Amino acid sequence: MSTKQEDIDVSVWRGDPHSGNYENFKVPAQESQTILDVISWIQQNQDATLSYRFACRVGMCGSCAMMVNGIPRWTCRTHLNKVLNGNKLVVAPLRNLPVIKDLVTDMDPFFDKWIAAEGLHHPSKTRLDPIEEIEPKSIGRVEIDTGIECINCSICYAACDTVTNNSDYLGPAALQRAWTVYNDVKDADKQTVLDAVSGDGGCLNCHSQGSCSVHCPNDLNPMNAIAGLKRATVASLFSRKG
């Protein structure tokens, strides 16, 4: 019989849109477990009323994102032994989003801003035209590739201090998506994209602190994309002036 490993002290935020507090649980330590394992164990064995989100549990969907010891992470891809603080773990809902219950946040503001940043394709051809050939190594396509793998997990949005301090700010994910549309030669309306990202809540608010790029689990670089949008905005200002 192996010696009993110490229990872990887990502090989980519980509450609703109006109020909440941290509740403590003791979770048996396992050889190898993720934060999602820990949260699931609590819900299955200690408190069935704990609400949390997950889906694929293999790091593909981004649904399980939460604040783990103050850092936004995918809980299914975060090993407990990598983040344990002494024997303590603190899990809270993603920052910068309204809370629905416990660890579940309302993703509506995130998606509303995604749309507001005009990250949508504006068609330039019909189905009767020949397919546009895009050279994979072209500058525009390489730029798009650096940002296209976004799965909308909202970790960058949670990490961004400017999102916290400026409720109008569209946020790194939405702006990065707009940048990928802007670089698409097939897109027919780049000016609308530029207008959307250079307004009050737009790319110009970014301080280039870089938390988004540091914490993106897909290794994307929204900070760079936003810098590109800033360049495009300034260039358009001077070219419009003549």
Partner 1 sequence: MALALTEPDRLDGFLSWTDTPIVKLAEFGLVFLLAVHFFGGLRLMALEFFPWSTSQKTLAALAIASAFLVATIFFLQVI
Partner 2 sequence: MNIRLYVLQRITALIMAPLTLGHIAVMIYAVQDGLSASEILGRTQGSIIWFLFYGTFVVAVSIHAAIGVRVIVSETFKFVGFTLDAFAWFVLLAMLFMGGRAVLAVTLL
Q: Cβ(75)–Cβ(54) under 8 Å?
A: yes
Closest approach of Cβ 210 to partner 1, in Å? 9
Closest approach of Cβ 19 to partner 1, in Å? 39
What does 208 interact with, of partner 1, partner 2, none (CB < 5 to 8 A by kind)? partner 1
**Which residues form the interface with partner 2 (CB under 8 A)?**
162, 165-166, 198-200, 202, 204-205, 230, 233-234, 237
What does 165 interact with, of partner 2, partner 1, none (CB < 5 to 8 A by kind)? partner 2
Cα(104)–Cα(6) distance, rounded to whole angstroms?
A: 29
DSSP string, 189-227: -HHHHHHHHSSTTSGGG-----HHHHH-TT---HHHHHH
What does 233 interact with, of partner 2, partner 1, none (CB < 5 to 8 A by kind)? partner 2
Closest approach of Cβ 183 to partner 1, in Å? 12
Q: For partner 1, which is the closer residue by CB, 79 or 231?
A: 231
What does 227 interact with, of partner 2, partner 1, none (CB < 5 to 8 A by kind)? partner 1
Give, in order, the Cα–Cα distances in Å from 230 to each of 26, 163, 207. 48, 17, 11
Closest approach of Cβ 228 to partner 1, in Å? 7
Tokens of 158: 């949670």
DSSP 102: T
**Which residues form the interface with partner 1 (CB under 8 A)?**
208, 223, 227-228, 230-231
What does 231 interact with, of partner 1, partner 2, none (CB < 5 to 8 A by kind)? partner 1
Closest approach of Cβ 156 to partner 2, in Å? 18
Q: For partner 1, which is the closer residue by CB, 51 or 218?
A: 218
Cα(77)–Cα(80) distance, rounded to whole angstroms?
A: 10
Q: Where do the H-state alpha helices sit in 53-189?
A: 80-83, 108-116, 139-145, 155-159, 161-165, 172-182
- Dihedral of CA 74/76/77/82: which sign? positive
Q: For partner 1, which is the closer residue by CB, 78 or 224?
A: 224
Question: What is the four-CA torsion angle of 140, 224, 66, 95, rounded to 10 degrees?
Answer: -130
